[in-house]
Chain A
Amino acid sequence: MASLPELKSGETMAFLHLTNLRKTFATSAAVEDFNLEVEKGEFVSFLGPSGCGKTTTLRMIGGFEMPTNGAIGINGKDVTSKAPNQRGVGMVFQAYALFPNMTVAGNIGFGLKVAKRPAEEIRERVQEMLALIQMHDLGPRYPYQLSGGQQQRVALARALAIRPQVLLLDEPLSALDAKIRVELRFEIRRIQRQLGITTIYVTHDQEEALSLSDRVVVMNSGRIEQIGTPFEIYNYPKTSFVASFVGTLNQLRCSVVDAAAGKVSFDGQPFAASGPIRGADGSVIVMLRPEELHIGALEGQNQLRGTVETVAFLGAIVRMQVKLGEALVTLDALNERRLDLPKIGQALTLSFPPHACWVMGDR
């Protein structure tokens, strides 16, 4: 079992420290080489597809899974082998996990009661938490008398009532409908900022991760693909997995025309990439976000001609697929009332600036 890294002179240890974490079930590794430092008050999301190891990592932090190897430190103390009830970690579950036999107030005060806090302190803290989640009058209700969103608020208040060092949220919004999900998302962030609590949030929803987090950890097959701010993750993906998993991405297989000048050609139509192309022999995959493409021939920009294949109205944006040779390119246009929607089969020109597209591995 690894231990927490030793500090050099002048270094300060991160609040939450995960070092070389590894977890294997039978013969397969669920999590491997997981290293992460989280500062106090930071909001970090683990983002990835099902089975990528994000929940297993969270459960290791919570003490519900024992790492096969590696160390977990909270506030400078090694908690790797500590039981869940001795870590000072609050957890919110996808299935709410409210105790059905207790009222809302009973649920929120449970942790304090277990800690044998005085009755008056428990009562005050419960009221404080009810105010925080804006459910002042619902203390006497039972969980079955609450909606899903209310239950998850109570679960959050219950986890926070014990003043945990770290708050863990395991896909807390997955069981809720879309509107409540968005509302509660902002409420979680408001409460987290208000209390300044270090938070780890597990989700497979990229919009949730990008909108909530200070940093996002993108995971795939038990490994970290990239750690960065939402802006970095979206605009500067380091691997093709991150590029394709986060957001929608066009991947165009182009032939290299002039590597030094960054010139490529797609479907016989030449255009310029963001810079010189290194290490490519013959063909490269050029990445391009749908929102970087514009309808019409804009001067000084790359231009590609194609025909409209599909048009989907999504409210705030209109998503189109344009056929370029054998490939389909996705294009997002911001909706506006006077938008002239192209017809299916219509020929059109797509424009995009050279800096908008990049060759994977070159940046």
Chain B
Amino acid sequence: MKRGTFGAWFWVVLGGLYFLLPLLGTLDFSLRMRRGVLSFDAYEKAFADPQFGQTFLFSNQMALLTIIVSLLLVVPTAYWVHLRVPRLRSVVEFITLLPFVIPAIVLVFGMIKIYSRPLAFGSLELVRPLTNSVWGTNLLLVAGYVVLSLPYMYRAVDTGLRAIDVRTLTEAAQSLGAGWPTILWKIIFPNLRTALLSGALLTFAIVVGELTLANFLDRPAFGPYLWLLGQHRAYQPAALSIISFGLTWVAMGVIQFLSRGRIKPGQVAGAH
């Protein structure tokens, strides 16, 4: 084996161990609920708890809504920046990075402070306080998740847009009679499929395990449930962590499966 190859494998193995050992530890711990033997008791108890299903379903619904809102917000914005105002790219990138430096706790307190009051024009109340209703609080939760996932979603979309010739494809579609909705829906979205799936997966992973926003907005999400369980139980939280991890890996596998094959915009010649 060449020295360079050995070095590369050393780092791959080291990285793999760093990643896998804690997982294996958690998996092992989750199987030791019954003294002296390996069992799935912790998993059975976790699944038997009705709160597990309810919170997991709620978080999945919120994740789905967040993904839809994020895509509708980020894709047209990033597309427009690429096409019309590329000089603003650094400004938009800076804005999308803000969630990294503004803690979620600041975000949620800001939201509660602003939206727990009615939106009024003088003495005329236009919108009731959002925190006074379930749908209003869910709306705030989704809005907060959109902000938290912005750095990941924007970067995924931006990378996808850099890989295709946005301007020429847009102009080609325009010359064929297409308007903006058709261009976005038929040309841009399909050619960003892999990037959008990556962004969606990252958003999903962030939302499903998120604790701070859901906790302070008092919503029955999976993150607070996990945290609460961790305060009182030892083995079930470990089992739930493994389940969450498994679901994430399944999602990644689905992305790999869906994004394989036919779209290869980088390849332009040489097939014959």
Contact = CB atoms under 8 A, between A and B. Distances in A.
A91 B175 contact: yes
Nearest to B267: A144
Interface in B136-189: 164-165, 168-169, 171-179, 182, 186-187
Interface stretch (A71-79, A81-89, A299-307, A331-339): A81-89
B172 A91 contact: yes
Given A96-B268, A100-B264, A151-B268, A162 B177 contact: yes
B1 interface: no
B191 interface: yes
B171 A91 contact: yes
Contacts of A85: 174-179
Interface string B69-82: 00000000000000
In the complex, which range does the number of interface residues on chain A fall in? 35 or more
B262 A142 contact: yes
A93 B268 CA distance: 14
Interface string A169-182: 00000010000000
A151 B265 CA distance: 12
A99 interface: yes
A147 interface: yes
A89 B171 CA distance: 11
A151 B190 CA distance: 20
A95 B168 contact: yes
B172 A93 contact: yes
B175 A101 contact: no
A158 interface: yes
B271 A146 contact: yes
Nearest to B266: A144
Interface stretch (A109-117, A184-192, A321-329): A109-117
Given A84-B174, A142-B264, 17 more contacts: A84-B171, A95-B268, A97-B171, A97-B172, A100-B264, A101-B191, A101-B262, A111-B177, A114-B182, A144-B264, A144-B271, A148-B268, A150-B271, A150-B272, A159-B175, A162-B176, A175-B268
Question: Top 8 closest A-B pairs, CB basis?
Answer: A111-B176, A148-B269, A97-B172, A101-B190, A84-B174, A91-B175, A147-B272, A144-B264
Interface of A: 62-64, 83-86, 89-91, 93, 95-101, 110-111, 114-115, 142-148, 150-151, 155, 158-159, 162, 168, 175
